Structure 1
Amino acid sequence: MLTPELLDRIRSRAAGYDRDNAFFWEDLDELRAAGYLAPRPLLQVAREQRLLAAHAPATALGINMHLVWVGVARVLAERGDDSLVWLLEEAEAGELFAFGNSEPGNDAVLFDSLTRAEPRPDGGYAFTGTKIFTSLSPAWTRLGVFGRDGDRLVHGFLTRDTPGWRSLDDWDTLGQRATQSHTTVLEGAVVPAERIARILPVGPSADPFVFGIFANFLLLIGSVYAGIADRALELAVEAAQRRTSHKNDGASYAVDPDIRWRIADAALALDALAPQLETLAADVDGVVDRGADWFRQLTGAKHRATETARHVVDQAMRVAGGGGYRSSSELARLQRDVLAGIYHPSDTESVHATVAANLLGPLP
């Protein structure tokens, strides 16, 4: 699906999208034509996303949000729940799904919402609130949203032609610019009854729908940042082989002990990611029951991937020397893109709280 020729074209456009703060329209058209929006096993998607991210991080991160929703529908179907089979069919047909879940000031993430979901007589809901980091904003055709109705959380999907929503076109960030993750304002946007995916109690939930979101989001986010690290390591090796030392009579930096240590250090850290990300993805596909350990391991995998990627990119910047600091360098763009990893749920504090609760029990 991701042929070398396609990946080369995608990489050739990445710098321009970043420079112009533009959405990756050409990449999306080619990926859709290649069948990249269609459902497939999580392990396969994780590997493909890592490869795509090594060529164009923002394109991979943007399309990630669609792939997460497709993954949620697969998780349910594989566990005997056909409530989102329609989503799999529409993704196969080329519809583009996006996430409208993140909200300003809501650190409960999926366990509560500041958006109001008002029930309608026909079983649908009208959603009013503000969603941030809505990746794929210029292009989505289906938007997953959720809001609160009393002590219940209502999840559903808008279509783009639904009235009652608007995009603020306010995405101007340090990195991951091509995702165009604008703020979305919901002003009574109605989701009909047949597109209400779940109604769950406020608070943590063991529902497979919630598990599907966590599993796919965390593992695919981790895969994207692992891909950024893959490319940074490649560039570090190229820089070490290209640069020469005047004080060492023109010797290559590839024989400098300190440079060799930095590259080895980055590789050692990076090599640890694939076994964890891929084993967990395979277990999601295989409907393996890890019980209460699932959330600890999923959040830990995302945390380790994003933090490792930051370390690898930092080492690559040090190996590359001053040339890597130029705004036109690919490494400089990777340095900006990799920083976004600290903002994706679950953040560092939440990860540590999840692991502590798993080992020590909840706080009294």
Structure 2
Amino acid sequence: MPTPALADDLLQRVASRAAAHDRDGSFPHDDLAELRAAGYLAALVPADLGGWGLTLEQLTREQSRLAAAAPATALAVGMHLVWTAVAKTLHDRGDASLDFLLREAAAGEVFAFGVSEPGNDLVLFGSTVEAVTREDGSVAYTGVKTPVSLSPVWTRLGTFGLDAGGDEGPRIVWAFLDRDAPGIEIDETWDTLGQRATRSDTTRLHGAVARADRVVRRLPPGPNPDPLIFGVFVNFEILLASVYAGIAHRAVELAAEAAKRRTSLKLGGAPRSDDPDVRRRVATAALLDDGLDAQIRSLARDVDERADHGGRWFAKASGLKVRVTEQAKAVVDQAVLVGGGSGYAASSELSRLYRDVLAGAFNPSTQDSALGTIATAVLGPVSPA
């Protein structure tokens, strides 16, 4: 049987709507409806649980294709796909604690990634959100999560907070909230330069309760070898990189089209694709772009095949994200220059790609964070004072 994939005509329809959603800052409900109907929200769910049964490596290709059509749609849906990737990573290693997520994703539920918090540079290893464990094992969360993509549509929110009052000592408590749980407020704060259609609005939790059967981890604060942390970190970085690779792929296509379409008086009316300076810019963009997929798929394959990178996994994943996002921006920079003044217009697709690719620098891991992780992996921790 052929491997399931997004149909070309579906991607064309998604692409045709991207400019309007960007202009209006509106969530792409139409894209999500088509992707859900195609089964894409369950692309990683094993076939025996109702999904496409893709590997992570295969999904990275589809995410790049979707991002080339509509970066914001790919980034938003990618947050849901990260959770399914985490669940699959655990499932493949004999841990069934998130199997409910795989089944619910196959049934059409949409999972949001409620991880980032204002002022929390510990990211996964600390929290400003209060988590209070109740007598029945449920957990009440109070605090702010932002940005949270898929804000208009998510039905489940994967999140965590710090329970400082338990007998076992402080614990980071991971759980999933239902959208209809009391105490969840969506604050429509998302008004950004790029990636506008993700609608990554602020989520405020006012004692919102996750049921006991949806509390999936209680971990000590700080770096932790738990498979859930591994799954969240590594899958997030890989799937994020896939989106920015897709932006770069599309930018090269647009640069080539512009070079062939535009003519030069200096060259006697010949297309600008004959100009050696233009050829060099397009070639530079293509050279950078050509290296993106291989590195993404290599690391994704290692996740699929359960390769042993020991303590280097976080360094490899964060390094991948930084390399890909920086190279993708360099590709778009060259493409915009090839496109000329018309590419500076707000209505230009190249202009939109330029704004969208800038977001990669702000998505975790940042360059500073990644370099710190890599330094620790290579040199060991900083000596105690």
Is 1:191 matched up with 2:210?
A: yes
Structure 2's unaligned 5+ residue stretches are: 46-53, 165-169
Select the residue among 4, 16, 28 that pairs with 1:24.
28
Partner of 1:180: 199
Partner of 1:291: 310
Q: What secondary structure sits across from 1:175 in the alignment? A: coil
Select the residue among 268, 275, 283 that pairs with 2:294.
275
What amino acid sits opposite 1:188 in the alignment?
A: G
Partner of 1:232: 251
Q: What secondary structure sits across from 1:345 in the alignment? A: coil
Contact 2:83 2:111 in 1 (8 A): yes
Matches within 5 A, 1:133-148: 133-148=147-162
Give the whole-Å Cα distance in 1 for the aligned partners of 2:8 and 2:91.
32
Partner of 1:81: 95
Q: CA deviation at 1:169?
A: 1.0
Give the whole-Å Cα distance in 1 for the aligned partners of 2:189 and 2:328.
27
Give the whole-Å Cα distance in 1 for the aligned partners of 2:22 and 2:291.
30
Give the whole-Å Cα distance in 2 for the aligned partners of 1:59 and 1:13.
10
Contact 2:267 2:275 in 1 (8 A): no
Select the residue among 230, 254, 263 that pairs with 1:211.
230
Q: CA deviation at 1:281?
A: 0.4
Partner of 2:18: 14
Q: CA deviation at 1:305?
A: 0.7
Give the whole-Å Cα distance in 2 for the aligned partners of 1:224 and 1:351.
19
Q: How many residues are aligned here?
A: 364
Matches within 5 A, 1:102-141: 102-141=116-155
Structure 1's unaligned 5+ residue stretches are: none
Q: What secondary structure sits across from 1:146 in the alignment? A: strand
Give the whole-Å Cα distance in 2 for the aligned partners of 1:272 and 1:307.
12
Q: Deviations over 1:189-224 (max 9, x none)?
A: 000110011111100111110010111100000000
Q: Deviations over 1:146-201 (max 9, x none)?
A: 00012210000001111111000111111101100000000000001100111111
CA-based RMSD? 0.7
Give the whole-Å Cα distance in 1 for the aligned partners of 2:104 and 2:28.
21
Partner of 2:78: 64
Give the whole-Å Cα distance in 2 for the aligned partners of 1:256 and 1:220.
37
Is 1:98 matched up with 2:107?
A: no
Moved over 6 A (4+): none
Q: Deviations over 1:294-351 (max 9, x none)?
A: 1111111111110011000000000010010000000000000001101111001001
Percent identity, please: 57
